[in-house]
Structure 1
Amino acid sequence: MRHQSLISRRVAAATVSLVLAAGAAACAGPQDGDGPSTSGGDGEPRKGGTLTVLNGEPQTDFDPARLYTSGGGNVPSLVFRTLTTRNREDGAAGTKVVPDLATDTGRPNKDATEWTFTLKEGLKYEDGTPITSADIKYGIERSFAAELSGGAPFLRDWLVGGGSYEGPYKNPKGLASIVTPDARTIVFKLRKPEGDFPFVATQTQFAPVPKAKDTGTKYEERPVSSGPYKVVKNDGDGERLVLERNPHWSGKTDQERKAYPDKIDVISGLDSAVINQRLSTGSGADASAVTTDTNLGPAELARVGGDKELAARVGTGRFGYTNYLAFNPKVKPFDDIAVRRAISYAINRTSVINAAGGSALAEPATTFLPEKEAFGFTPYDHFPAGKTGDPVKAREVLKAAGHEKLTITLTHSTEQNRQTSPEVATAVQEALGKAGITVKLQGLEGNAFNEKRWSAKDAPGFFLSRWGADWPSGAPFLAPIFDGRQIVRDGSNYNHAQLNDPAINNEIDEINKLTDLSAAAKRWGALDRRIGELALDVPLFHPVYKRLYGKNVKNVVISDWTGVLDISQVSVK
């Protein structure tokens, strides 16, 4: 998570598949509080038909080396299989990692510094040639090439020799830390223990790429499929992507993807209002359409709420994402914990949530970790402010610390994304004003905002921020933000407080050694609670995602891993 490519992906995810204007999350169902739904209409799901995907953002960089996170969302996972994958089930059950190309989720050595996987028998590419462990090794190695940048950075940090490796185009000998003793076995040697390695093995870098078919930067135009669908058209760098069945894919080796439709037509570059209108009306092909990146807004939700038929076609989810106020203690007066505590007491989460779109689209947060068991969620509220803030307590804390008058600056984005937007910033400003804190607002254009907030040298003292997990675990949530060894001085630094506490760093290392994910989750939760006492951030809310789907769409599955409707499960006939 240290690279600029990551934050650009973060921002894309935040405006495409992860955030309010673009959603992601768990529990499927027409309304808040409803249980998971696995049917988008009457009748059982059947094979056949065409699924249309209406999106705002193009499916760019359709190369497994360049995509980010688990399958890069939904569409890539139809073409690229990986060693492991997410369990394709509703809600919390979907946070589990399961085998994909591999026979299991990996076998670690005693200290989790070495992981061994065995491939299933009978795996084939779209042309009928067998998939081998050497293809997976090559696929990973090419993701290190500078010309194919953009994917997740973890393997560069984790693999022995990964930090200096430049890819197979410059170093054809490959990485010695990836060993393939035979065609079905692959072994990874790590610099340090990583109990979460099975989660990382879900990322598209682990998709096999046949060396003989590698066309470098042009590979994204017609990549070789290992999944149930193959690319037959890729126009405008992902603006129009058409997928048809891979005749050599077999459901016998793939228990996760249902692959009901015969064809998937991905149309991008559409305005969000147009997408929701087309899904609402459901004419022609739009009756069998979904979106993987466009949420309903407050006004649209109000209209949908008055229409029972439309309300029954809204998928609801809660992805592992937290919006928060970040402090940089290197900037005065935020070096004083009393100031940070006072702000924590003063915050009015009700007004913040209203600014973020209302309670249908955001839920209050007092913990940094999302409220899900897989992350290790442990309830706490070190600075209870109630629903509307406690300005009296905030004033008391400030007075005791000698701050009779306080003027501070809050930096935010000028983009209308309902998360780091002017509306949310104004809500914070008003709440702190009641506690006697004068807040000046500094709005920056999106790119400038991201560059500033992720700069270790030039980060503001107080700013709106957000963070989402690359997989459902406490590791990708807490380590990038609070591990002192991940502070980056000359690039994208996500440790906004520049915290470098040896005890916390050590606890992160100890948890990373655990391959018992349940035990690890409990310790991540305890660490979150411990860090929370330092008042280095103010959790504000967790986004809720609401998306329409077509009236002919069936078998709606939305897990807590991705939070988006899983198109590998959808039936349209």
Structure 2
Amino acid sequence: MRQPSVIARRVAAASVSLVLAAGVAACAGPKDNDGAGSGGDGKAAKGGTLTVLNSQPQVDFDPARLYTSGGGNVPSLVFRTLTTRNREDGAKGSEVVPDLATDLGKSSKNATVWTYTLKKGLTYEDGSPITSADIKYGIERSFAGELSGGAPYLRDWLIGGDKYAGPYKDKGKGLDSIETPDERTIVFHLNKPEGEFPYLATQTQFTPVPKSKDKGTKYEEHPVSSGPYKVVRNENDGERLVLERNKHWSATTDPERKAYPDKIDVRSGLDSSVINQRLSSGQGADAAAVTTDTNLGPAELAKVTGDKELASRVGTGHFGYTNYLAFNPKVKPFDDPKVRQAISYAVDRSSVVNAAGGSSLAEPATTYLPNQKSFGYTKYDHFPAGKSGNPKKAKELLKEAGHKDGLTITLTHSNAKDFETSPEIATALQDALKKAGIKVKLQGLEDNDYKDKVHSATSEPGLFLAHWGADWPSGGPFLAPIFDGRQIVKDGANFNTGFLDDKSVNTEIDEINKLTDLDAAAKRWGALDKKIGEQALTVPLFHPVYKRLYGKDVKNIVISDWTGVLDISQVAVK
């Protein structure tokens, strides 16, 4: 059984940090800077202050409470974990690599026991040694109710995790499923095979926390650093976060983080237009500034295109994310596969891409899995609609389904602007389906009402706009939550929108989870995606593209396919 909150948090994290700027008109983007090369003049060197301008405050700066993976951005400057992501551009950045551990872990034959050995010479910001017991304690405190918010996979995966309440209530007793036979060894006992455990070990819950320094909910004010920087100021719960060098950090044990700037000043809670204007102007400290959560919108991209200097300062990123139409087969007429297929043929992806901001901000999708190798992407198009839809084929299928005179349906979407379920995208779909004789009534809801409605098994509408992002670059956290029948939740947040409960699909998910060969697993995730796609339970629409400005004095731009955003652990300033 899986915890409903696992999936709810997954979507919440994606929704907060990966907002896509939506617009009405398509626009051409600047010449892509896909992370290769540097901004400014000269080579990357140590020194200076990097400013980070973000919309979302870095709230709850406690490794137990953060929902991050792959050693993301600001948190990974302070918190090291057993594993992390490879800090390289593009597809190479989708690989998982050791961090505090010497390797990706050694698993038992059935992938239910994972053993890690820590590197020698690891220390905190005060020079004291990092031990396996600290990692065990850091994980255990993430189970405490007062420190909720992090990715709770371990509650589901660890033996006894579903009953453990954390060290504050369960004083003196920890999780028996985590063993620390010596100061450098930690062993995890799982209740089911999980070949992707090395990916999970990138989560901030695997950050070491010295028990003697734990201050519960106040720990976030000054968490003890295991990374290249330490917290010296935390104002208004992460609205402003100032980091300075941790003199006890050793690059010898940490080849992934470059730690070029002497100081990093994170300023959040800013309006997106203000952020882009400040990065564009580059006055004062803003010349050495970046953003990790604010995209350029269509109008801003059009302006940038006409300015050669600005165009050279745009980083392009891709993240494992898919926007799609979701069907509820329990609601007529979507219980008929031919109706679902007809709608799949009728969709005009060109108009949808335009509504999402244009080809610079969105790529058309015909597969549910993102078009990246690490996910196991397997090219297919079961219901080829071309660039602008195939209304003729759609009408033929509707006639076969008994709707020769067409039909009327309702499409539910969020009224929130600058989001993947925007009214503009809904209107583009309405216009396309009209050509196939399908009249679409739009039901726009306030964002909270929309989420409540579409994530409830009892109120889920027949057709609605949806989106999904993965916690790590694999088909597992992408396909299982949406298509594993055992993850259907009747009395909580449900994300298996098509209510698929296919024994062969469930079994294949279990078999893939046993694989520790991640490349072999990826191929099978791709094959499973293709198989599920034949049932037309979703209509993939597009994969977002992230375009972000950086300051003119910023160098060493690295944007991986794991996060799709600029990696500030690699950045240098002039």
TM-score, normalised with respect to structure 2: 0.96
1:333 Cα deviation from its structure 2 partner? 1.2
**Residue number in structure 2 paired with 1:390:** 390
**Residue number in structure 2 paired with 1:135:** 134
**Partners of 1:337 and 1:166 in 2: how far apart?**
45
CA contact (8 A) 1:355 1:418 kept: no
**Partners of 1:556 and 1:96 in 2: how far apart?**
18
Please tell me the residue identity of whatever aligns with 1:422. Answer: P
**Partners of 1:72 and 1:268 in 2: how far apart?**
20
2:441 alignment partner, SS class: strand
1:253 Cα deviation from its structure 2 partner? 0.4
**Partners of 2:515 and 2:16 in 1: how far apart?**
34
Please tell me the residue identity of whatever aligns with 1:107. Answer: K
**Partners of 1:47 and 1:206 in 2: how far apart?**
29
CA contact (8 A) 2:233 2:243 kept: yes
1:331 Cα deviation from its structure 2 partner? 1.2
Please tell me the residue identity of whatever aligns with 2:116. Answer: F
**Partners of 1:162 and 1:193 in 2: how far apart?**
15
**Residue number in structure 1 paired with 2:473:** 472
Is 193-202 or 166-175 further displaced after alignment? 166-175
**Partners of 2:218 and 2:501 in 1: how far apart?**
42
1:318 Cα deviation from its structure 2 partner? 1.1
1:477 alignment partner, SS class: helix
**Residue number in structure 1 paired with 2:434:** 433
**Residue number in structure 2 paired with 1:528:** 529
Pairs within 5 Å for 1:159-238: 159-172=158-171, 173-238=173-238
CA contact (8 A) 2:70 2:562 kept: no
- Per-residue CA deviation, residues 299-346 of structure 1 (Å, 9 max, x unaligned), is 000000000100000000111110000011111111111111000000
Pairs within 5 Å for 1:12-27: 12-16=13-17, 18-21=18-21
For the aligned residues, what is the CA RMSD? 1.4
**Partners of 2:554 and 2:47 in 1: how far apart?**
12
- Per-residue CA deviation, residues 2-57 of structure 1 (Å, 9 max, x unaligned), is 545753563453343x23139xxxxxx9624x664131232110000000000111
**Partners of 1:21 and 1:364 in 2: how far apart?**
16
**Residue number in structure 1 paired with 2:363:** 363
**Residue number in structure 2 paired with 1:338:** 338
Please tell me the residue identity of whatever aligns with 1:86. Answer: R
**Residue number in structure 2 paired with 1:25:** none
1:546 alignment partner, SS class: strand
**Residue number in structure 2 paired with 1:252:** 252
**Partners of 2:14 and 2:234 in 1: how far apart?**
21
Pairs within 5 Å for 1:317-328: 317-328=317-328
**Residue number in structure 1 paired with 2:381:** 381
1:298 to 1:449, Cα distance in 2 relative to 1, 3 A = same
**Partners of 1:227 and 1:373 in 2: how far apart?**
30
1:544 alignment partner, SS class: strand
1:407 Cα deviation from its structure 2 partner? 1.2
Give aligned-pair identity as a percent: 75
| TM superposition outliers: structure 1 runs of 4+ over 3 Å | 1-9
1:521 to 1:6, Cα distance in 2 relative to 1, 3 A = closer
1:5 to 1:187, Cα distance in 2 relative to 1, 3 A = closer
**Residue number in structure 2 paired with 1:148:** 147
**Partners of 1:323 and 1:115 in 2: how far apart?**
35
Pairs within 5 Å for 1:32-47: 32=32, 36-47=35-46
1:317 alignment partner, SS class: strand
Pairs within 5 Å for 1:255-294: 255-294=255-294
**Partners of 1:71 and 1:237 in 2: how far apart?**
23
**Partners of 2:236 and 2:4 in 1: how far apart?**
26
CA contact (8 A) 1:341 1:394 kept: yes
Please tell me the residue identity of whatever aligns with 2:271. Answer: D
**Partners of 1:5 and 1:445 in 2: how far apart?**
24
CA contact (8 A) 1:31 1:316 kept: no
**Residue number in structure 2 paired with 1:306:** 306
Please tell me the residue identity of whatever aligns with 1:56. Answer: S
**Partners of 2:503 and 2:169 in 1: how far apart?**
38
**Partners of 1:490 and 1:151 in 2: how far apart?**
22
**Partners of 2:337 and 2:6 in 1: how far apart?**
33
**Partners of 2:302 and 2:364 in 1: how far apart?**
21
CA contact (8 A) 1:70 1:203 kept: yes
1:170 Cα deviation from its structure 2 partner? 1.4
**Partners of 1:35 and 1:267 in 2: how far apart?**
25
**Residue number in structure 2 paired with 1:64:** 63
Is 2-11 or 42-51 further displaced after alignment? 2-11
CA contact (8 A) 1:413 1:421 kept: yes
**Partners of 1:30 and 1:42 in 2: how far apart?**
20
**Residue number in structure 1 paired with 2:25:** none
**Partners of 2:3 and 2:343 in 1: how far apart?**
28
- Per-residue CA deviation, residues 273-305 of structure 1 (Å, 9 max, x unaligned), is 110000000010000000011000000000000
**Partners of 1:83 and 1:30 in 2: how far apart?**
38
**Residue number in structure 2 paired with 1:85:** 84
**Residue number in structure 2 paired with 1:31:** 31
1:69 Cα deviation from its structure 2 partner? 2.6
2:138 alignment partner, SS class: helix
Q: Size of the alignment, in residue pairs?
A: 565
1:452 corresponds to 2:453: yes
1:71 Cα deviation from its structure 2 partner? 5.6
**Partners of 1:444 and 1:58 in 2: how far apart?**
26
CA contact (8 A) 1:71 1:80 kept: no
1:100 corresponds to 2:99: yes
1:70 alignment partner, SS class: coil
- Per-residue CA deviation, residues 344-392 of structure 1 (Å, 9 max, x unaligned), is 0000000001100011100000000000110000000000000000011
- Per-residue CA deviation, residues 198-226 of structure 1 (Å, 9 max, x unaligned), is 00000000000111111111111111110
**Residue number in structure 2 paired with 1:551:** 552
**Partners of 2:451 and 2:85 in 1: how far apart?**
30
**Partners of 1:68 and 1:11 in 2: how far apart?**
9
**Partners of 1:262 and 1:72 in 2: how far apart?**
20
**Residue number in structure 2 paired with 1:515:** 516
CA contact (8 A) 1:90 1:560 kept: yes
Please tell me the residue identity of whatever aligns with 1:42. Answer: D
2:429 alignment partner, SS class: helix
Gaps of 5+ in 2: 23-28
CA contact (8 A) 1:452 1:460 kept: yes
Please tell me the residue identity of whatever aligns with 1:362. Answer: A
**Residue number in structure 2 paired with 1:121:** 120
**Partners of 2:161 and 2:140 in 1: how far apart?**
9
Gaps of 5+ in 1: 23-28
**Partners of 2:84 and 2:527 in 1: how far apart?**
27
